[in-house]
Every structure is written in C-alpha cells, then in structure tokens.
A and B are shown apart, each in its own frame.
Chain A
C-alpha cells in the first residue's frame, strides 16, 4: 500500500481489487450481453452478416406469429399455475415437516431428492413414467380398480370416529372432532372393517379396461375448446413434473422461516381462543410473508425460463403443445438448417425479461399489501 493515501482511499482500492474478477465477468457476460440483446432486438441479424437496424418492426411482427403467441400463452399459463401450486405445496410440506420428532431429518432428505437430480434426469424419468404403458397410467388403473376399498375405508373411518367422539362426549370428556388418539383407533378399525367387507364379498375390485392415456404425444387440451385458455395436456403433464421437483427446495426456505416464528405468537393466539386453522391463517401465513415473496419470485423466475423439459421431451410431444418462450428464443437462434433470426429471438427474450420483472414487481405489491 502506498503511503500517504488516506485509509478510506486505501480501503476502496483494496475493495476494487477484490471485486475485479467478478465485476469483469459480470460486465462482459451480463452487462454487455444485456445491452447487446436490447440492440439486437431492434435489428435484423443472422450472426454472419452485420446487423441491420429495423426499429420496432421485430416487436410488431412477432405478435403476428402464431408460434410466438402459443409460446407466450404456454409460458404465462405454466408460470402462473406452477408457481401457485408449488408455493402452496411447499408451505404444506414445511408445516408437516416442522415437527420435533425423531427421524425428521431422514424424511427431509427423502423429500429433497427430486430437487437434487438434474432436470435432464428427472425429465427422462418423467418421460418413462408417462408412456402409454408407463407407471403413471398403471397407478391410475390401480386406483380405478380399487377405489371401492378406499371409499369403504374412508367411510368406515368417519363412522368409527363419530362413534368414539359421541361416546367420549356423552361421558363428559372434552374431545375434538379429529381427536388424534381416536383417529388412530378409527384407522385401525377401518382397516379391519374393510378386510371383513372384502372377505364377505361386499366390497370387491372393479374390472376396468387397461388405462392407456397418452399424456405427451397428443393434441388434447384441458379444458377442451376454451380457445386461448385451454392448455395442452403435455404442458399440464410438465406442470405436474415441475411442481414435484421444485416444491421441496421451497419447502426448505419455508422451514427456515417457520423456525424463526416466535412461539409466543402462537401462545397468545391460543389464549385469544384461535383454533388451529385460525392460528395458521393469522399467525403463520403473515409471519412468512417475506419467505412467500422470495419463494414466489424464485418460482416465477424459474418457471418462466422453462427450457430443459421441452428440449428433452423433444419429438415425444407436438412442439406447439410444449413450446415456451425460452425454447422459442433458442429455436430461432439455432433453427437447424435455416438462417438464425437473432432479431426476432432477441425481441422474444426481451419480452420474457420484461414479463419476469413485471411479475416479480406485481407479486411484491400483492404480498406487501395482503400481509
């Protein structure tokens, strides 16, 4: 360090040295790239000849392209539904896992498995499970065949539970409708009951046709015939996949948040006579506001960029039923055979970026107002 410089200057110099490698790579591979993407979106460019300035025409033409509109619709629908589902699911899992019982760490590990493996691996497994003779159809078939047992089980549980609760209350014991001890007994009795019904032949499996639903290579939409609002079945399959893989990561964030909520809040709520649902609604949810914002922001950013699944599924599903903005951008830059349309691709990428920023801002508002 040269002498005579004030400590402040010295510190700033040291800071810049520390920051040099990261800042350089950030400027080249993000800053420069971002500015260039904006520039490209106003040009006609194929990566070989120099770009031609065309003004706003990319942004106008792109909205006349059906494939882009489909990709836009798919991306927005996918992002909205998956973000909401995975946030709710993650919160539910976290509340269940936030128990101080033995072996809870083991379960946490198990739940986290889908988020550890790469999207490529997970998508391959998903492709396999969603074949016509895949496991997913088989599970559905099992369910269709044995649902009478399930219904009988649930009905018997309810009956036994009611009986126990009435019995206990008639003897003056203060029990809840879902009293855990009684519920456990009801489950066991219901199992015995179902076995008895099966033995006497009252309940039996239903003969069903083999389930051969085509999940991916299909043009079916759900709901059928709602125009732009009906989403392709393959995309809905990917939604299920994505919710399954990302919910556990967000569950960890919620778990960290749950552990920071002071116990006193619950105690105070209990004193005020709040039941468990009210405690959840008026203590847990507001206290997790910031986690919810983070989870939803990460969810939106992640889902809007969905690319890997589309690329891996590839020819196993019609392109229009899975294409997202991210894949649209990629396929215009590397169209395989044709000339790249970098201008159009950049315009689509900018729309994707703006969409991300708007979504994050809007939901920040919503979370902050509704806390």
Chain B
C-alpha cells in the first residue's frame, strides 16, 4: 500500500521515457505499466469516495433532515416536500394570499387564502367533502409549547367546501376517481395578525389524499386526517420551518430578547476577542522562547508542556473560585464584584493557550536569523526587531493561530458551561445548544429545531475552514512537529 503514490505518478514517468527508440517488448511493458497506473488511480478514487461518504454522509443527511417535518421518520426519505420547487411556488402564492409577503407569509386582515385538495376515492365509495378545521395548534412539544401571539383559529372564517372536479383514475392498481374540492379561508377583519395559519382536513376512511395546493406536513389516523403547520407560510417559513422555530421560540422570558441570535453574537464576540489576545500574546511569548536567551527558559517551556497535558478538570475548580472572587478582588477596580457570568471573566481566564504559543515558537525558529542579526548591528532592540521585522513575516503562522483559536473558542463547551450559567442571554452558542437540547428534549425529542440549531452553529466554522483551509492544515502540522 505504501507505494501507492509511486504507482500514481507512473503515467508521467511512462510518458517521458520513450525518447530512445524502444523495442516492441519494451513498448508493450510500458503500455502495461501505464494501464496499471491508471487502473490503480481509478481504484484509489473509488476508495476515496467511499471514505468521503463515510465522513460527510452523516452531516449531509442531517442537514437534509433538518428541513423535514419529522427528522426521524421511518424509512428516512431523501426528498422531503420542503425541497420541492412546486411547493416553494405554492408557499409564495399562499403567503401573499394570506396578506404577508411571498418570502414571509402571515394571516392578516384582508387575507383570503384559496385552497384545493384532491382525494382518490376507490369505486364503490361515495366521495365526501372533507371537514375543514383551523386548529389552535402549538408548534411543538417542550419549549415549542410555550408560544406568544394570536391564534389564527380565532380570526379565520372557512368558506363552504365545493367540489370542483371529478375524473376517473387508477391509483396503484385500484380503479376509482379523483375528486377535487376547493375552499377559501378568510380573515374576519379584526386588526390582529397571526403569524401562522394551521389547517386540518378530515375525510372518511379509504378516501385517500392525492394532492393539494401545498403538500401536507403530516397524514395521520390511517390517512383520514391531513395536517398543515401553516397554509399561508411564504417561502422561508415553509422551507426553513425548523430554522424559523429556533429563532422564534427561543426568546428570553424576562427581557423578550431573541436568545438564539444573542448566543450567536456572544460566541462571535468572545471568539473575536480571544483571537486578538491569542495573536498578541502567543506571538510575543513564541518569539521570546524562540530567540531570546534568559534564565528559566527551559523551566518555562516544560511548564507549558505540562500544562497542556493536565486535564481541564483538574484546574477548573480553582479557576471557578478565582473568577467568583474576581481574580483576588482585582475586578473591583473596574466595579465588578464577581467575574462569574461575565465575558470579562471568560476572556481573562483564557487569554492564550499553550498550543498557540507552540505554533508561533515553531515558526520563529524556522525563520533565518540573518535579518534580525543585521538589524541588531544597526542598533535595534528586541522590541523594534519584533514589531518591525519579525511580526510582518509571521503572517502564515498568525493566520494558523487565528483560525485554530477561532475554531477552538467557538466550539468550546466545558468552561463556558461552568462560568456562564445565568441569565440565559449570557450563554455561548454551545451552551445554548445544550439548553435547546434540554428544552426540546424534555418530553419527546423534537428533532427539527435541534438539527436546525446544530446546523446554524456549525456554519461559521465550516465557512472559515473552507476559506482558510491552508492555515488549518499548516497549523495542525506545526503543532505536530513539536513532538
């Protein structure tokens, strides 16, 4: 296996050789070698694809499922109705009919939402018009059951259900007829806007759902009841139903602030500040360790190595107490009694990590000394050399530190969980996700919003990773070399 790369480069080698008039036997051999190399490359690609599926598959499928009404449906489908363009068009039209925009629907005064539904009725059964209800339905269990705002049910007037078409048809080998019914849902004109218009249709047994203006979200009770979460949705609340729920349902019960947005902001703020402190402190420390001679250098180096081996569970108790008492009372200088539940605390307790220092030290050691030597001869001190000469050259290493720090802080869970406990709008996104998991998982796991929240929180790191991939890889191999 180890010479796989040798084999893969063989085609070029084979192509270069035939300069000196080869014999037919040699030519035959070269052809065989080339064929072998190409075949091997093809096999390697197959293997690579299989592995990609293994690593990416769960993510891709989780992302797809985050659009579904029921992410743990059985069997899992690859084509949820939310991803079908026909439904997008319908959602747009219905959103406008409901008095909202095409992007964001609503159920507002003046709304008149037309709706059509077609059933398949086997021969021998008399078609029956469905019973139409606008239910008072909550979006979900757990946190989703606590919901402010008006119920569309209180303002909706459903028109008479009219049969509009009837035609013979055969569905799955059974002959019968397709019967279409139409009705409209009007707003009664009271000046109240409801954000969603849920709908239930009920028919007799064996009269099965065939199609409708918008695909239903659930079909229950042996096919008798078809339910819609919202028949005036607009495109975004329809396609991104679970995503809108994450934002709408997570608000602070005391201040009314949108919690999920706040958590995203908090994570960005803390990560941004920590990237800055890491860049400054790691480059200073790394430079001193790499280039300056001073007593205690080895001791400090060993201490940093040691600190990287000791689990955070050893030090967090003392650190928690230190923050609780405001770092030996220092925080009183700027008027904070305690640094628990404060961003200052979480930033001060993690100004710079050992691995960032290692990356910088490693990089500075790889720089040629001549530049600094000549500056020193010109009389420059260490501070000047550092800011004027070394730092401008260090961009690749600084990039690696910035990216890895951002990723590390964005994904950090243990320490924010301990320091940021109340109120909820102090959480970082990872702690917030744990909160979501408890809020939506209390009764039965309401997977839609959970997967949507997970996806949103993964997006920033994934984008940064895709854009700055090179720095990631470099940073990791930098930390690697030190061992």
**A residues at B contact (CB < 8 Å):** 1, 8, 10-12, 14-16, 18-19, 21-23, 25-26, 28-34, 36-37, 40, 47, 93, 95-101, 104-105, 107-114, 116-121, 124-129, 131, 133-135, 138, 173, 179-181, 183-184, 210, 244, 248-249, 252-253, 255-257, 263, 266, 270, 276-277, 279-280, 283-284, 290-291, 293-294, 297, 301, 304-305, 307-308, 311-312, 314-316, 325-326, 329-330, 333-334, 342, 345-346, 349-350, 352-353, 356-357, 360
> For the complex, what is the distance from the CA of A294 to the CA of B280, rounded to whole Å?
27
Q: Are A12 and B295 in contact (CB under 8 A)?
A: yes
**B residues at A contact (CB < 8 Å):** 1-9, 32, 35-36, 38-45, 47-48, 51-52, 54-56, 58-59, 61-62, 65, 71-76, 280-282, 284-285, 287-289, 292-295, 297, 300, 303-304, 307-322, 327, 348-352, 357, 381-383, 386, 407, 410-411, 413-414, 417-418, 430, 433-434, 437-438, 441, 445, 447, 450-451, 453-455, 457-458, 461-462, 465-466, 469, 472-473, 476-477, 480-481, 483
Residues of A within 8 A of B42 (CB): 180, 184
Residues of B within 8 A of A104 (CB): 48
The 9 closest A-B pairs by CB, nearest first: A118-B411, A294-B483, A33-B315, A33-B318, A180-B39, A15-B292, A256-B477, A18-B288, A15-B294
Q: Are A107 and B458 in contact (CB under 8 A)?
A: no
8 Å CB contact of A118 from B62, B294, B410 = B410
Give the secondary structure class of B's interface: helix
Q: Are A184 and B43 in contact (CB under 8 A)?
A: yes
> For the complex, what is the distance from the CA of A96 to the CA of B473, rounded to whole Å?
17
Q: Are A111 and B55 in contact (CB under 8 A)?
A: yes
Residues of B within 8 A of A305 (CB): 311-313
Given contacts A113-B56, A128-B447, A345-B317, contact A101 B44 (CB under 8 A): yes
Q: Are B383 and A131 in contact (CB under 8 A)?
A: no
Given contacts A12-B292, A18-B292, A129-B62, contact A330 B2 (CB under 8 A): no
8 Å CB contact of A110 from B40, B56, B413 = B56
Q: Are B313 and A326 in contact (CB under 8 A)?
A: yes
Sampled A-B contacts (22; CB under 8 Å):
A11-B293, A25-B281, A25-B351, A26-B304, A33-B319, A36-B317, A36-B318, A99-B44, A101-B44, A101-B45, A109-B465, A116-B472, A117-B411, A124-B433, A133-B74, A135-B65, A252-B477, A253-B477, A253-B480, A276-B1, A276-B2, A314-B437
Given contacts A119-B411, A353-B310, contact A333 B317 (CB under 8 A): yes
8 Å CB contact of A135 from B76, B294, B350, B453 = B76
A126 closest partner in B (C-beta) = B58
Residues of A within 8 A of B73 (CB): 133
> For the complex, what is the distance from the CA of A13 to the CA of B483, rounded to whole Å?
29
Given contacts A11-B294, A353-B311, A353-B314, contact A179 B3 (CB under 8 A): no
8 Å CB contact of A311 from B39, B317, B413 = B413
Residues of B within 8 A of A252 (CB): 473, 476-477, 480
> For the complex, what is the distance from the CA of A37 to the CA of B314, rounded to whole Å?
6
> For the complex, what is the distance from the CA of A316 to the CA of B289, rounded to whole Å?
47
Nearest Cβ in chain A — how far from B311, in angstroms? 5
Residues of A within 8 A of B433 (CB): 120-121, 124, 312
Given contacts A96-B44, A284-B2, contact A12 B451 (CB under 8 A): no
A316 closest partner in B (C-beta) = B441
Q: Are A113 and B462 in contact (CB under 8 A)?
A: yes
Residues of A within 8 A of B41 (CB): 99, 101
Q: Are A279 and B480 in contact (CB under 8 A)?
A: no
8 Å CB contact of B411 from A12, A120, A126, A244 = A120
Residues of A within 8 A of B61 (CB): 135
8 Å CB contact of A297 from B381, B441, B455, B483 = B483
Residues of A within 8 A of B351 (CB): 21-22, 25
8 Å CB contact of A124 from B280, B450, B483 = B450
Nearest Cβ in chain A — how far from B350, in angstroms? 8
8 Å CB contact of B285 from A19, A93, A98, A294 = A19
Nearest Cβ in chain A — how far from B151, in angstroms? 30
Residues of A within 8 A of B438 (CB): 314
B462 closest partner in A (C-beta) = A116
> For the complex, what is the distance from the CA of A129 to the CA of B64, rounded to whole Å?
13
Nearest Cβ in chain A — how far from B55, in angstroms? 5
8 Å CB contact of B313 from A138, A297, A307 = A307
8 Å CB contact of A19 from B71, B288, B307, B477 = B288
Given contacts A18-B287, A18-B288, contact A109 B6 (CB under 8 A): no
8 Å CB contact of A101 from B6, B8, B441 = B8
